[in-house]
Structure 1
Amino acid sequence: MHPRNLHQGSYDFNVLCKTLPTLAAFVFENQYGNLTIDFSQNSAVVALNQALLKQFYHIDFWQLPKGYLCPPIPGRADYIHGLADLLAMKDGEIPTGKKIKVLDIGMGANCIYPIIGSQSYGWSFVGADIDSTSIKVAGSIVKFNKNLSSFIKLRLQKDKKSIFHNIIKPNDKFALTLCNPPFHASMQQASAGNARKVKNLNKGKAAQKVGLNFAGKENELCCEGGEIAFLKQMVNESVDFATQVGWFSSLVSKSENIAPLKKRLTQIGAKQVEVIKMTQGQKISRFIAWRF
């Protein structure tokens, strides 16, 4: 993990249960004598996230509607810290404070990136989403946590075929944009990917029939053409806002999508492209960033 990531090593479930006593109902001792939870159970993952957010980011209220995406927090934190390093390239210092404005495309009901970014670096955020329920729920999280209310604003994307258009206003200036894009072309693909993940979590044992362990609505997980189609559209739209954004960025789930994205970025005149790898345990992920 990134050296500034607060979630190094194993979860300390004793401390987390003191922080959020309701988590204790999901904690058990595994065959190796270690405390853990069933990561294939969505309600357990939600409780873990509530405890992590309370302990590390002072979030007292965080609830999601049934079925909405509940992201793994350590990996999300790595992306934020990687973006902070990107901003530090210029003079070696990470800029902090509300003057650093960040746009989160597809924020979701969970509001994770604005929470971590505002509480870690004091950045101000605009969170955008096409789903009105996500905007409403994220708004409740911001409202009921006083340490968030002055840092986070929300915008509903009413044109579901657009990414930056209708969200970035004429007078906006953003240091960064970030995105966790829909990875799949269909819910069938999403379910198949989750089945593989659950099998791995169960160490090859016969897995019980479960839903998506981190949940997720169709608009959070899928789009026509999958990840590469979404990201190509993002790249194409970014040209129109080249003077209003310092760095554009997005997670890229599939490594084979990097080459065509870099090719397209060269074609449209991006002056700098960076691909940053992130490692969480055995998992390797990445984000791509570009500027004009």
Structure 2
Amino acid sequence: MEDALGRPQHAKAGGSHKPLAKESKDAYFRNLYTKAPDFKAIALLDPDFATVFGRDLNFNDPKAVANRHNYILWLKDLLDTTSYDEPGRKVVGLDIGTGASCIYPLLGCAQRPWSFVATDIDDKSLEWAKKNVKLNDLDGRIQLIGRKPDDALIPLEDLKMDSIDFTMTNPPFYESEEAMVKSAQEKSRPPFTACTGAKVEMVTQGGEVGFINRIFEESLVLRERVQWYTAMVGFLSSLTRIVDKLREHKIDNYAITEFHQGNKTRRWAIAWSFRPLRPAQSVARGTKAALSRGILPAVTEVLAYRMPLGGSVGGFAENLSNAIAALDLISWNWDKEKLEGIGRAVDKVWGRPWRRRKKREMELGTETEEKSKATEEQICAFGFKVSVRVSREHVSVEARWVEGHDETALESFRGFLKSASEKAAEDAKKGA
């Protein structure tokens, strides 16, 4: 945050709240802005807030720029749904162009046990960022690094780091100061209303697409050394151009979403990965605005079967789990309490081509007993999650694509699940 003269104000990420359990802490931050905040009440409770903002908040005042909290929430969902580990694991992120407030690392560290490398090319911004990190007692988790304009944006080699979990950036929007002024005039507001960034934070060669293209080119070299490359953009047209670039290079694992700030301001974010773990559908396809442009990534969640509620749901779920377990899988783990399971397969092992090939190998004697059994050492071509959901009227079977690059595998597996569910339902009725 900065005052009206452009002097950065100190940022406190955690406030004076008592420590929260992991579940309640995540829920607290997720619901932080579901209702309009009472700024007068906050001013009475927080002297620092009252000093900087006063009793009535004016969003045309540069001091009152809202934090991009939704970016952090989306990152949490992105990381949580692309891991077989429990949500909330420790990760390391890179904030490219952190700015004077260092707000993204502060917000991330306040919510999760994350660590950050935060970079910037502006010495004054880094000076204030270091003060904010120290003020929040996060020196041990946030490392601030000065960079030069022509340096690599993802400095893994310079920092001697093998890998990190994600990169994030809120890049300069505009190609020139003239473009920035023109954009402001078209929105019928003063050209620098609520723009507190230094020039290097607002203007760059090629605008935001040019900046993200630099990250993209570096990602083509680093590839799986970073799980997720992410960026925020200010224009939907930029999102379209970046997705075109991903598709040109046959990068099929990506996610896009939309952020709403207040009543009018919208931002978008994009992420791409060279690894096979795929995000949940709400994370990967989180914008309706992109639907008409045909840039959404592949569907990752489908309804496979639905039947009226009745009979033994437990018996039905057990029969379905057994049918999946009978497949030639690398692994299958079913949770009887949650009625859901995670499986991994080397191929479309439920399909006829697979069964024919296995039969042919057995007839030719090229299939040994050891070879016929899938093992954890084998490469997973399709990871999936199956859930049995119970409502007041229906029992549904849902499938989510968790791992892999073959888009056709989900629809093929859906067909198997439908047939297996129908048989499981019949057997459950007979058993009853």
Task: Using structure 2 for the length normalisation, give the TM-score.
Answer: 0.52
Matches within 5 A, 1:149-188: 149-160=139-150, 162-165=152-155, 169-188=159-178
2:122 corresponds to which letter in structure 1?
D
Structure with greater Cα Rg: 2
Say if 1:250 and 1:20 are closer, same or farther in 2 by CA, change over 3 A.
Answer: same
1:248 paired residue among 229, 238, 252: 229
In structure 1, distance between residues paired with 2:111 and 2:33: 13
Give the Å deviation of 1:125.
0.7
Say if 1:100 and 1:261 are closer, same or farther in 2 by CA, change over 3 A.
Answer: same
Say if 1:234 and 1:22 are closer, same or farther in 2 by CA, change over 3 A.
Answer: closer
In structure 2, distance between residues paired with 1:171 and 1:91: 21
Give the Å deviation of 1:167.
7.0
User: Are 2:171 and 1:145 aligned?
Assistant: no
Give the Å deviation of 1:279.
2.5
CA displacement 1:236-274 (0-9 Å, x = unmatched):
111122132000000121111222212222333434111
CA displacement 1:60-93 (0-9 Å, x = unmatched):
xxxxxxxxxxx521xx110111011111223576
2:271 corresponds to which letter in structure 1?
A
Q: Is the 8 A contact 1:155 1:167 kept in 2?
A: no
User: Are 2:117 and 1:110 aligned?
Assistant: no
Q: Percent identity?
A: 29
Q: Which residue of 1 aligns with 2:296?
A: none
In structure 1, distance between residues paired with 2:98 and 2:113: 18
Q: Which residue of 2 aligns with 1:15?
A: 41
Matches within 5 A, 1:93-104: 95-96=87-88, 99-104=90-95
In structure 2, distance between residues paired with 1:39 and 1:22: 18
CA displacement 1:208-239 (0-9 Å, x = unmatched):
x6844231111000101211111112111111
Say if 1:260 and 1:213 are closer, same or farther in 2 by CA, change over 3 A.
Answer: closer
Matches within 5 A, 1:269-280: 269-280=250-261
In structure 2, distance between residues paired with 1:108 and 1:167: 22
Q: Is the 8 A contact 2:239 2:268 kept in 1?
A: no
In structure 2, distance between residues paired with 1:196 and 1:231: 25
In structure 2, distance between residues paired with 1:232 and 1:166: 18
The alignment's C-alpha RMSD in Å is: 2.6
Say if 1:197 and 1:37 are closer, same or farther in 2 by CA, change over 3 A.
Answer: farther
In structure 2, distance between residues paired with 1:249 and 1:291: 9
Say if 1:253 and 1:140 are closer, same or farther in 2 by CA, change over 3 A.
Answer: same
Q: Is the 8 A contact 2:91 2:164 kept in 1?
A: yes
Q: Which residue of 1 aligns with 2:240?
A: 259
Say if 1:210 and 1:289 are closer, same or farther in 2 by CA, change over 3 A.
Answer: closer
Q: Which shows bigger deviation, 219-228 or 235-244?
A: 235-244
Give the Å deviation of 1:289.
0.2
Q: Please, which runs of 5 or more residues in structure 2 have no aligned partner?
A: 1-26, 275-432
Give the Å deviation of 1:185.
1.1
Matches within 5 A, 1:1-292: 4-21=30-47, 23-24=49-50, 26-27=53-54, 36-43=56-63, 45=64, 71-73=65-67, 76-91=68-83, 95-96=87-88, 99-146=90-137, 148-160=138-150, 162-165=152-155, 169-195=159-185, 199=189, 211-282=192-263, 283-292=265-274
In structure 2, distance between residues paired with 1:165 and 1:145: 25
Say if 1:91 and 1:159 are closer, same or farther in 2 by CA, change over 3 A.
Answer: closer
In structure 2, distance between residues paired with 1:186 and 1:210: 13
In structure 2, distance between residues paired with 1:257 and 1:217: 22
Q: Please, which runs of 5 or more residues in structure 1 have no aligned partner?
A: 29-35, 46-70, 200-208
In structure 2, distance between residues paired with 1:167 and 1:12: 46
2:267 corresponds to which letter in structure 1?
S
Say if 1:110 and 1:167 are closer, same or farther in 2 by CA, change over 3 A.
Answer: farther
1:181 corresponds to which letter in structure 2?
P
Give the Å deviation of 1:96.
2.6
Bigger relative contact order (CA 8 A; separation at least 6): 1
Say if 1:240 and 1:193 are closer, same or farther in 2 by CA, change over 3 A.
Answer: same
